[in-house]
Structure 1
Amino acid sequence: MNLNNTLAALPLAFRKLNPRQMIHSPVMFTVLIGSVVCTAVSIQQLAIASDSAVFSIIVTVWLWLTVLFGNLSEAIAEGRGKAQADSLRAARTSVMARRRTRALVPAGASGAGQDVNDDGYEEERVPGTDLKVGDIVICEAGDLIPSDGDVIEGLASVDESAITGESAPVIRESGGDRSSVTGGTMVLSDRIVIRITAASGKTFLDRMISLVEGATRQKTPNEIALNVLLASLTIVFVVAVMTLAPMANFANALPTPVVLVALLVCLIPTTIGALVPAIGIAGMDRLIQRNVLATSGRAVETAGDITTLLLDKTGTITYGNRRAVAFIAADGVNQQLLVDSARLSSLADETPEGRSIVELAQKDGTPQDPTATLTPDVEVIEFSAVTRMSGLNLPVGHPANPGPTNLKVRKGAASAVEHYAKERGGSLPQELQDAVLKISGTGGTPLLVATHSGERAQILGVIHLADVVKPGMKERFAELRAMGIKTIMITGDNKITAAAIAAEAGVDDFVAEATPEDKLAVIKAEQEAGRLVAMTGDGTNDAPALAAADVGVAMNSGTSAAKEAANMVDLDSDPTKLIDIVGIGKQLLITRGSLTTFSVANDVAKYFAIVPALFAATFPGLGLLNIMGLSSPESAILSAVIFNALVIVALVPLALRGVKYRAVSAAKALSRNLLIFGLGGVIAPFIGIKLIDLLVSLIPTIGH
Structure 2
Amino acid sequence: MEHQHHQHNMTETAAYENGHYGMDHQHMGHGGHNHNAMIADFRKRFYVVLILTVPILLLSHMIQQWLQVQISFSGSQYLLFLLSTVVFVYGGWPFLTGWFSEMKAKNPDMMTLIGFAITVAYGYSAATVFGLNGMDFFWELTTLILIMLLGHWIEMRSVAGASRELELLVQLMPSTAHLIKDDGTTDVKTETLKESDLILIKPGEKIAADGLVEEGDSYLNESMLTGESKPVQKTRGQKVIAGSVNGNGSLKVRVTHSGKDSYLFKVVDLVRSAQEAKSNTQLLADKAARWLTIIALLAGIATFVTWISLGHDIAFAMERMVTVIVICCPHALGLAVPLVVAKSTSLSAQHGLLIKNRTAFENSRRITSVVFDKTGTLTKGKFEVSRIVTIGEQPSNEDELIRLAGALEANSKHPIATGIISEVKKRNLALPHVEDFKAITGKGVAGVAEGKHVKIVSPGYLKENNLQLPPDYSATGNETVVFVLINDQPAGFVALADAIRPESADAIATLHDNNIKSILLTGDNKQVAESVSTQLKMDGFFAEVLPHEKLEKIKELQQKNEFVAMTGDGVNDAPALAQADIGIAVGSGSDIAAETAGIVLVNSNPKDIVNLILFGKATYRKMIQNLAWATGYNIITIPLAAGILYNQGILLSPAIGAVLMTVSTVVVAINAGLLKVQS
Regarding TM over 0.5, the answer is yes
Contact 1:308 1:486 in 2 (8 A): yes
The whole-number CA distance in structure 2 between the counterparts of 1:561 and 1:63 is: 43
Over aligned residues, Cα RMSD in angstroms? 5.8
1:312 aligns with 2:365: no
Does the residue aligned with 1:310 lie in a helix, a strand or coil? strand
Q: Which residue of 2 aligns with 1:294?
A: 355
The whole-number CA distance in structure 1 between the counterparts of 2:591 and 2:360 is: 19
Contact 1:84 1:212 in 2 (8 A): no
How far 1:280 sits from its partner (Å)?
A: 1.5
Q: Which residue of 2 aligns with 1:488?
A: 519
1:262 aligns with 2:328: no
Q: Which residue of 1 aligns with 2:291?
A: 232
1:508 aligns with 2:536: no
How far 1:36 sits from its partner (Å)?
A: 3.8
Contact 1:537 1:562 in 2 (8 A): no
Q: Which residue of 2 aligns with 1:63?
A: 148
Q: Which residue of 1 aligns with 2:162?
A: 77
Q: Which residue of 1 aligns with 2:550?
A: 519
Q: Taking structure 1 as reference, are residues 70 and 462 closer, same or farther at Cα in structure 2, changes over 3 Å only? A: same
1:444 aligns with 2:529: no
Does the residue aligned with 1:487 lie in a helix, a strand or coil? strand
Q: Which residue of 1 aligns with 2:566?
A: 535
How far 1:167 sits from its partner (Å)?
A: 6.7
| Count of aligned positions | 550
The whole-number CA distance in structure 2 between the counterparts of 1:462 and 1:616 is: 88
1:277 aligns with 2:363: no
Does the residue aligned with 2:572 lie in a helix, a strand or coil? helix
Does the residue aligned with 1:314 lie in a helix, a strand or coil? coil
Q: Taking structure 1 as reference, are residues 641 and 287 closer, same or farther at Cα in structure 2, changes over 3 Å only? A: same
- Which amino acid in the other structure matches residue 659 of structure 2? I
How far 1:70 sits from its partner (Å)?
A: 4.3
How far 1:288 sits from its partner (Å)?
A: 1.9
**What does residue range 336-485 of structure 1 map to in structure 2 within 5 Å?**
338=397, 341=400, 353-354=419-420, 357=423, 370=428, 374=430, 379=432, 386=440, 388=444, 413=457, 415=459, 428=468, 430-432=470-472, 435-436=473-474, 438-439=475-476, 442-448=477-483, 459=491, 463-485=494-516
The whole-number CA distance in structure 2 between the counterparts of 1:249 and 1:139 is: 78
Q: 1:32 aligns with which of 106, 114, 118?
A: 114
- Which amino acid in the other structure matches residue 260 of structure 1? M
**What does residue range 314-329 of structure 1 map to in structure 2 within 5 Å?**
314-326=375-387
Contact 2:566 2:577 in 1 (8 A): yes
Q: Which residue of 2 aligns with 1:600?
A: 631
Q: Deviations 1:425-484 (Å, cap 9, x if unpaired)?
A: xx757422xx33x42xx23123557889xxx9774x655433232224233223324434
Contact 1:491 1:511 in 2 (8 A): yes
Q: 1:499 aligns with which of 527, 530, 535?
A: 530
How far 1:241 sits from its partner (Å)?
A: 3.2
The whole-number CA distance in structure 1 between the counterparts of 2:32 and 2:607 is: 35
Q: Deviations 1:596-646 (Å, cap 9, x if unpaired)?
A: 2233344466468646xx3555x3xx45xxxxxxxx7457x6445324313
Give the TM-score, by structure 1 length: 0.61
The whole-number CA distance in structure 1 between the counterparts of 2:424 and 2:655 is: 74
Q: Taking structure 1 as reference, are residues 513 and 215 closer, same or farther at Cα in structure 2, changes over 3 Å only? A: closer
Does the residue aligned with 1:535 lie in a helix, a strand or coil? strand
The whole-number CA distance in structure 1 between the counterparts of 2:102 and 2:346 is: 22
Contact 2:263 2:590 in 1 (8 A): no
Does the residue aligned with 2:573 lie in a helix, a strand or coil? helix
Q: Which residue of 2 aligns with 1:677?
A: none
Q: Taking structure 1 as reference, are residues 355 and 261 closer, same or farther at Cα in structure 2, changes over 3 Å only? A: farther
Contact 1:138 1:191 in 2 (8 A): yes
- Which amino acid in the other structure matches residue 122 of structure 2? A
The whole-number CA distance in structure 1 between the counterparts of 2:641 and 2:281 is: 32
The whole-number CA distance in structure 1 between the counterparts of 2:119 and 2:635 is: 25
Does the residue aligned with 1:431 lie in a helix, a strand or coil? coil
1:11 aligns with 2:60: no
Q: Taking structure 1 as reference, are residues 45 and 56 closer, same or farther at Cα in structure 2, changes over 3 Å only? A: farther
Contact 1:35 1:64 in 2 (8 A): no
How far 1:219 sits from its partner (Å)?
A: 1.6
Does the residue aligned with 2:594 lie in a helix, a strand or coil? helix
Q: 2:304 aligns with which of 220, 245, 249?
A: 245
Contact 1:304 1:588 in 2 (8 A): no
Q: Deviations 1:353-381 (Å, cap 9, x if unpaired)?
A: 3477579xx9xxxxxx83xx64xxx7256
Contact 1:540 1:562 in 2 (8 A): no
Contact 2:303 2:317 in 1 (8 A): no
Q: Deviations 1:625-669 (Å, cap 9, x if unpaired)?
A: xxxxxxx7457x64453243134334424313426779xxxxxxx
Q: 1:646 aligns with which of 635, 641, 663?
A: 663
**What does residue range 109-258 of structure 1 map to in structure 2 within 5 Å?**
208-214=267-273, 217-253=276-312, 255-258=316-319
Contact 2:274 2:355 in 1 (8 A): no
Q: Deviations 1:152-188 (Å, cap 9, x if unpaired)?
A: xxx9989999995797669999xxxx9xx99999x98
- Which amino acid in the other structure matches residue 478 of structure 2? G
Q: Deviations 1:237-293 (Å, cap 9, x if unpaired)?
A: 432332222222222346353443333443565423233222112222123223444
Contact 2:353 2:599 in 1 (8 A): yes
The whole-number CA distance in structure 1 between the counterparts of 2:520 and 2:199 is: 41
Segment of structure 1 superposing worse, 272-281 or 600-609:
600-609
Q: Taking structure 1 as reference, are residues 212 and 430 closer, same or farther at Cα in structure 2, changes over 3 Å only? A: closer
Q: Taking structure 1 as reference, are residues 36 and 337 closer, same or farther at Cα in structure 2, changes over 3 Å only? A: farther
Does the residue aligned with 2:276 lie in a helix, a strand or coil? coil
**What does residue range 554-633 of structure 1 map to in structure 2 within 5 Å?**
554=585, 557=588, 563-572=594-603, 577-603=608-634, 606=637, 610=641, 614=643, 616-617=645-646, 619=647, 622=648, 633=651
The whole-number CA distance in structure 2 between the counterparts of 1:44 and 1:607 is: 27
Q: Taking structure 1 as reference, are residues 465 and 225 closer, same or farther at Cα in structure 2, changes over 3 Å only? A: same
How far 1:222 sits from its partner (Å)?
A: 2.0
Does the residue aligned with 1:563 lie in a helix, a strand or coil? coil
Runs of 5+ consecutive residues of structure 1 not aligned to the other structure? 95-128, 130-136, 150-154, 363-368, 395-405, 624-631, 663-704
Does the residue aligned with 2:375 lie in a helix, a strand or coil? coil
The whole-number CA distance in structure 2 between the counterparts of 1:43 and 1:170 is: 76
How far 1:583 sits from its partner (Å)?
A: 3.2
Segment of structure 1 superposing worse, 555-564 or 565-574:
555-564
Q: Taking structure 1 as reference, are residues 142 and 269 closer, same or farther at Cα in structure 2, changes over 3 Å only? A: closer
How far 1:313 sits from its partner (Å)?
A: 0.5
The whole-number CA distance in structure 2 between the counterparts of 1:79 and 1:559 is: 24
- Which amino acid in the other structure matches residue 353 of structure 1? G
Contact 1:537 1:553 in 2 (8 A): yes
The whole-number CA distance in structure 1 between the counterparts of 2:274 and 2:281 is: 19
How far 1:88 sits from its partner (Å)?
A: 5.2
Contact 1:308 1:534 in 2 (8 A): yes
How far 1:34 sits from its partner (Å)?
A: 5.0
The whole-number CA distance in structure 1 between the counterparts of 2:638 and 2:550 is: 55
How far 1:312 sits from its partner (Å)?
A: 1.2
Contact 1:158 1:189 in 2 (8 A): yes
Give the TM-score, by structure 2 length: 0.62
Contact 1:56 1:258 in 2 (8 A): no
Contact 2:166 2:346 in 1 (8 A): yes
Runs of 5+ consecutive residues of structure 2 not aligned to the other structure? 1-30, 43-93, 180-190, 201-208, 245-250, 411-416
Contact 2:121 2:318 in 1 (8 A): no
